[in-house]
A = this chain, B = another copy of it.
Amino acid sequence: MQANPVIETLLNHRSIRKFKNKPLTEDQINLLVRSAQAASTSSFTQSYSIIGVDDPEIKKQLRIIADNNQMYVEENGCFFVFVADQYRNKQIGEKQGADTSILDTTQRLIVALGDASFAAQNMAVAAESMGLGICFIGSIQNDIDKTAALLGLPEGTFPFFGLAVGYPDQRPEQKPRLPLEVIFHKNTYKKDIPEKMMDTYDQKVRTYYKTRTDNRRDDTWTAEIARGLSAPARMRLKPFLEKQQLGRR
């Protein structure tokens, strides 16, 4: 099976966590947003918004929320926040005299999370094809109320994640992915994970971390996954969604 320039771009992805101090141009931003918009959207509802953040103070505050050390939240070409958005369609429905109460259902929330993600992934792919680098930032959810306030988000909206885009100032190794056979199932879900396959993968990840850290980090994927389970995180999300009238029923 021959790859092509598009698939090469996809397979070449690595997250960039250090950007040059060079803002994106308006033309670049427009092309990125248009690429995002071209993605599929559930039932044509287009239930998402994109907020392009270049205001230094807002970026700084987002970086503090995300993690003081994640300088790439602040220092990049542009920082985009992808928002699951029922507010727009609520306005539109109300103008037409419709009862908009169903926008608080789980179905609508899930659709909006999908729409926002498809758009974001398209933007990520477009950026990489332009020689830019990207990093998804889920940790803007660390203080979800503050993030929403900073961005002036109304009811019916949820800031899902950020996407830092900019000129790469590093060339990290690619993070190895799970064996295809572990992610991919044929016709029905196979519950058993082949032990040997996971051992091989763990060694691959160990090598990756050793290389990345000059031998300082000795770790495997399964150990990392297990460690990540130690404490629940971002417990404000559920009440926040409720407050925003999302996924209530």
Contact = CB atoms under 8 A, between A and B. Distances in A.
Interface of A: 1, 3-7, 9-13, 15, 25, 27-28, 30-31, 33-40, 42-46, 48-55, 58, 83, 87-89, 91-93, 95-100, 102-103, 105-107, 110-111, 113-114, 117-118, 120-122, 124-126, 128-130, 134-136, 138, 141, 150-154, 157, 160-161, 175, 177-178, 180, 182-189, 191, 193, 198, 221-235, 237-238, 241, 247, 249
Contact of A98 (B28, B43, B153, B230): B230
Given A45-B228, A102-B231, A187-B58, A10 B33 contact: no
A103 B229 contact: yes
A89 B36 CA distance: 30
A203 to B, nearest CB: 15
Contacts of A182: 88
Contacts of A161: 114
B183 A222 contact: no
Contact of A222 (B95, B122, B229): B95
Contacts of A107: 141, 232-235, 237
A113 B106 contact: no
A187 B60 CA distance: 12
Nearest to A130: B4
Contacts of A44: 175, 221, 224
A184 to B, nearest CB: 5
Given A6-B6, A40-B121, 9 more contacts: A1-B30, A52-B186, A54-B186, A96-B225, A97-B226, A102-B231, A105-B233, A107-B235, A154-B189
Contacts of A177: 37-38, 46
Contacts of A88: 182, 193
Contacts of A9: 6
A183 B48 contact: yes
A226 B6 contact: no
B45 A185 contact: no
A178 B154 CA distance: 20
A195 to B, nearest CB: 9
Given A129-B4, A222-B92, A189 B157 contact: yes
